[in-house]
Amino acid sequence: MKIPLLSLLLLAAAGAADAQQRRPPDSDKGTEKPSDCVAAMGALPKEWVGEAFAIDGMTLGGVGLKPPLRLWGLQVGELRDKQSGQEAVPGMRARAALEDMLDKAEHRVKCRPARWDRDCRLVAQCTVEASPTPIDLGGYMIASGMAWGFHLEEILPWEPRAGQRYAGAEAEARKAKRGLWPTWLGEK
């Protein structure tokens, strides 16, 4: 089957325009542009429920989930050292802790998206049913000392005090030197 040259050029231009539209928005000193994400990804979903796996200690991939989802309110160490390219122990430990919690819940996750981040990932508060009551994955990661609080001033409409809860969990984990805190404090 032969495709006329003009048709190929039109397809290439449409593909380039689509790729340009889906490119993560440029950041202005960390300022997010949710309108760019809405244009590229669609409206923010009200919730996402499904099977998830840990991409790193703060990012979930999932069956039917595009783009990846970033857990709200936390930051973890990188999986790889940016200078050497070697695997970084803190990042690998954080990912393993998140994956272990997901495994306990048979990888079933329920997430409430709060916003898009500058990379057009959903930022959401997610829970798993790993015990009689749901466990907040972000709160778990912070309380276990595998993550620290990040953008905790942001108010979640469904849990206005989530930032305070995470900050308290971080302070307790730091004081008790749980998880990665000895490393972060330069003690190991």
Q: What is the pLDDT along the chain (188 residues), one digit of tens a residue?
A: 444 433 333 333 444 333 333 322 333 334 446 668 887 777 888 999 999 999 999 999 998 888 899 999 999 988 888 888 888 889 999 999 999 999 999 999 999 999 998 888 899 999 998 778 899 999 999 999 999 999 999 999 999 999 999 999 999 999 999 999 998 888 86
Degrees, nearest 5: CA angle 33-36-38 = 110
Instruction: Tell me what pLDDT residue 188 has.
Output: 64
**Going by C-beta distance under 8 Å and a sequence separation of 6 or more, which residues neighbour residue 140?**
101
- pLDDT score for 54: 96
Tally of helices (H runs) and strands (E runs) in the chain:
6, 8
Round to whole Å and give the CA distance between 5 and 13.
Answer: 12
Mean of all residue pLDDT scores within the chain: 82
Q: In the prediction, which pLDDT does 132 show?
A: 82
Q: What are phi and psi of 18, to 5 degrees?
A: -65, -45
Q: Can you give the length of the chain in residues? A: 188
Whether residue 92 contacts residue 79, with contact meaning beta carbons closer than 8 Å, is answered with yes
* Radius of gyration of the chain measured on its C-alpha atoms: 19
Q: How far apart are CA 104 and CA 137, in angstroms?
A: 12
pLDDT of 152 reads: 96
In this predicted structure, what is the pLDDT of residue 33? 62
- All structural domains of the chain, each given as residue ranges with its CATH number in brackets, are 35-184 (2.40.50.90)
For residue 67, say if its preceding peptide bond is cis, omega within 30 degrees of 0: yes
Give residue 39's Cα distance to chain centre: 20
pLDDT in the model for residue 34? 64
CA distances from 91 to 70, 82, 127, 147 (A): 15, 12, 21, 9
